[in-house]
Amino acid sequence: MTVDKKLSFPCRVSLEDAEIGDEVILLAYQHHKTSSPYQSRGPIFVKKNATTVKPAINKIPKLLNHRFLSIRGYDKKGMMKASLVTEGQNLKEVLNETFNNREIDYIHIHNAKPGCYMCEAVRV
């Protein structure tokens, strides 16, 4: 696909919004590999020639700030223990609050409206 709208094609690999004219691939990705009933795969965008990024501890990727997000917290067995939606600018506080539940081992972040998987936050 060729990007034709700003802030509408978030790259799952680079954690950046693709720019108008960029080439992206839309594909199904198994983002929750678990034996629990919550195993899941869903749509992601990947920019052509994207470089994998790993944000620093306690750093929120910029592409999450302007999105309405779905937050799903899981325990070590892949069972969902929390779920909510939030505006991206509130994400850091929501992650901290969600991790206050000691049962939660990791959190998946999705675009709330289209449902695309964005990234995972892990307890450190």
Reported as a single tens digit per residue, the pLDDT across 59-107 is 999 999 999 999 999 999 999 999 999 999 999 999 999 999 999 999 9
Q: What is the C-alpha to C-alpha distance for residues 9 and 20, in angstroms, rounded to an integer? A: 9
Question: Cβ-count burial of 122 within 10 angstroms (0-12 exposed, 13-18 middle, 19+ buried)?
Answer: exposed
Half-sphere exposure for 78 (CA within 13 Å, toward CB): 10
Q: Which domain holds residue 82?
A: 24-122
Domain count for the chain: 1
16-43, pLDDT tens digit by residue? 999 999 999 999 999 999 999 999 999 9
Kindly report the pTM of this predicted structure: 0.94
Q: Which structure tokens are listed for 84?
A: 């909510």
Residue 44 covered by a domain? yes
The DSSP bridge pattern shows strands 68-74 and 24-32 to be: unpaired
Residue 42 covered by a domain? yes
